[in-house]
Protein backbone atom coordinates (compact mmCIF):
# COMPACT_ATOMS: atom_id res chain seq x y z
CA UNK A 1 0.00 0.00 0.00
CA UNK A 2 1.19 3.50 -0.80
CA UNK A 3 2.12 5.04 2.53
CA UNK A 4 2.22 8.57 1.15
CA UNK A 5 -1.43 8.60 0.04
CA UNK A 6 -2.37 11.28 2.60
CA UNK A 7 0.21 13.55 0.97
CA UNK A 8 -1.19 13.01 -2.53
CA UNK A 9 -4.73 13.55 -1.26
CA UNK A 10 -3.64 16.65 0.66
CA UNK A 11 -2.03 18.20 -2.41
CA UNK A 12 -5.08 17.39 -4.51
CA UNK A 13 -7.63 18.86 -2.10
CA UNK A 14 -5.36 21.83 -1.49
CA UNK A 15 -5.63 22.62 -5.20
CA UNK A 16 -9.41 22.40 -4.92
CA UNK A 17 -9.37 24.91 -2.06
CA UNK A 18 -7.27 27.26 -4.19
CA UNK A 19 -9.97 27.08 -6.86
CA UNK A 20 -12.62 27.89 -4.26
CA UNK A 21 -10.65 30.92 -3.07
CA UNK A 22 -10.11 32.13 -6.63
CA UNK A 23 -13.83 31.86 -7.38
CA UNK A 24 -14.57 33.83 -4.21
CA UNK A 25 -11.99 36.48 -5.10
CA UNK A 26 -13.68 37.05 -8.45
CA UNK A 27 -17.01 37.98 -6.86
CA UNK A 28 -18.16 41.37 -5.61
CA UNK A 29 -19.37 41.62 -2.03
CA UNK A 30 -21.44 44.23 -0.22
CA UNK A 31 -18.94 44.51 2.64
CA UNK A 32 -15.44 43.49 3.67
CA UNK A 33 -16.94 41.18 6.28
CA UNK A 34 -18.93 39.27 3.64
CA UNK A 35 -15.85 39.15 1.44
CA UNK A 36 -13.96 37.14 4.05
CA UNK A 37 -16.81 35.36 5.83
CA UNK A 38 -18.58 33.49 3.07
CA UNK A 39 -18.90 29.74 2.44
CA UNK A 40 -16.25 29.61 -0.30
CA UNK A 41 -13.57 31.31 1.81
CA UNK A 42 -14.38 29.45 5.02
CA UNK A 43 -14.61 26.14 3.14
CA UNK A 44 -11.38 26.85 1.25
CA UNK A 45 -9.45 27.50 4.43
CA UNK A 46 -11.01 24.49 6.15
CA UNK A 47 -9.80 22.33 3.28
CA UNK A 48 -6.33 23.91 3.53
CA UNK A 49 -6.31 22.96 7.21
CA UNK A 50 -7.30 19.36 6.37
CA UNK A 51 -4.56 19.24 3.71
CA UNK A 52 -2.01 20.40 6.27
CA UNK A 53 -3.06 17.64 8.66
CA UNK A 54 -2.73 15.08 5.87
CA UNK A 55 0.76 16.36 5.09
CA UNK A 56 1.80 16.02 8.73
CA UNK A 57 0.38 12.49 8.79
CA UNK A 58 2.15 11.58 5.55
CA UNK A 59 5.55 12.73 6.85
CA UNK A 60 5.30 10.00 9.46
CA UNK A 61 5.64 7.45 6.65
CA UNK A 62 7.53 9.09 3.79
CA UNK A 63 10.95 10.76 3.64
CA UNK A 64 11.09 14.55 3.64
CA UNK A 65 12.68 14.54 0.18
CA UNK A 66 9.72 12.61 -1.25
CA UNK A 67 7.29 15.18 0.16
CA UNK A 68 8.77 17.90 -2.01
CA UNK A 69 8.23 15.77 -5.10
CA UNK A 70 4.61 15.09 -4.21
CA UNK A 71 3.99 18.77 -3.43
CA UNK A 72 5.24 19.67 -6.92
CA UNK A 73 2.32 17.75 -8.43
CA UNK A 74 0.08 20.56 -7.17
CA UNK A 75 1.23 22.74 -10.08
CA UNK A 76 -0.17 20.16 -12.47
CA UNK A 77 -3.54 20.07 -10.69
CA UNK A 78 -3.77 23.87 -10.60
CA UNK A 79 -3.06 24.07 -14.32
CA UNK A 80 -5.73 21.47 -15.07
CA UNK A 81 -8.28 23.30 -12.89
CA UNK A 82 -7.38 26.62 -14.52
CA UNK A 83 -7.95 25.26 -18.00
CA UNK A 84 -11.11 23.29 -17.22
CA UNK A 85 -12.88 25.64 -14.77
CA UNK A 86 -11.58 29.12 -15.57
CA UNK A 87 -11.01 28.54 -19.30
CA UNK A 88 -7.44 29.79 -19.01
CA UNK A 89 -5.22 29.41 -22.05
CA UNK A 90 -2.04 27.37 -21.91
CA UNK A 91 0.78 29.13 -23.71
CA UNK A 92 4.21 27.87 -24.70
CA UNK A 93 5.79 29.09 -21.47
CA UNK A 94 3.31 27.19 -19.31
CA UNK A 95 3.84 24.02 -21.33
CA UNK A 96 7.61 24.30 -20.91
CA UNK A 97 7.23 24.98 -17.17
CA UNK A 98 4.94 21.97 -16.69
CA UNK A 99 7.28 19.78 -18.72
CA UNK A 100 10.19 20.83 -16.49
CA UNK A 101 8.16 20.11 -13.35
CA UNK A 102 7.16 16.67 -14.62
CA UNK A 103 10.73 15.93 -15.74
CA UNK A 104 12.01 16.99 -12.32
CA UNK A 105 9.50 14.74 -10.57
CA UNK A 106 10.48 11.79 -12.74
CA UNK A 107 14.23 12.34 -12.47
CA UNK A 108 14.18 12.90 -8.72
CA UNK A 109 11.93 9.95 -7.98
CA UNK A 110 13.97 7.41 -9.97
Provide the Cα torsion 71, 21, 47, 81; round to 10°.
-50
In this prediction, residues 25-31 reach a mean pLDDT of: 94
- Please list, in sequence order, all residues whose beta carbon lies within 8 angstroms of the beta carbon of residue 25, skipping any fewer than 6 positions away: none
Distance CA 95, CA 25 (A): 26
> 3 or 14: whose pLDDT is higher?
14
Residue 67: count of CB within 10 angstroms of its CB: 17
Distance CA 19, CA 86 (A): 9
The per-residue pLDDT for range 48-75, each reduced to its tens digit, is 999 999 999 999 989 988 898 889 999 9
The per-residue pLDDT for range 77-95, each reduced to its tens digit, is 999 999 999 999 999 999 9
Amino acid sequence: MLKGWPMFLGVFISSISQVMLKISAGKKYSSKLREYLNPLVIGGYAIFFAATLMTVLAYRYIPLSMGAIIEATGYIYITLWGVSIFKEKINKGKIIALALIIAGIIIYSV
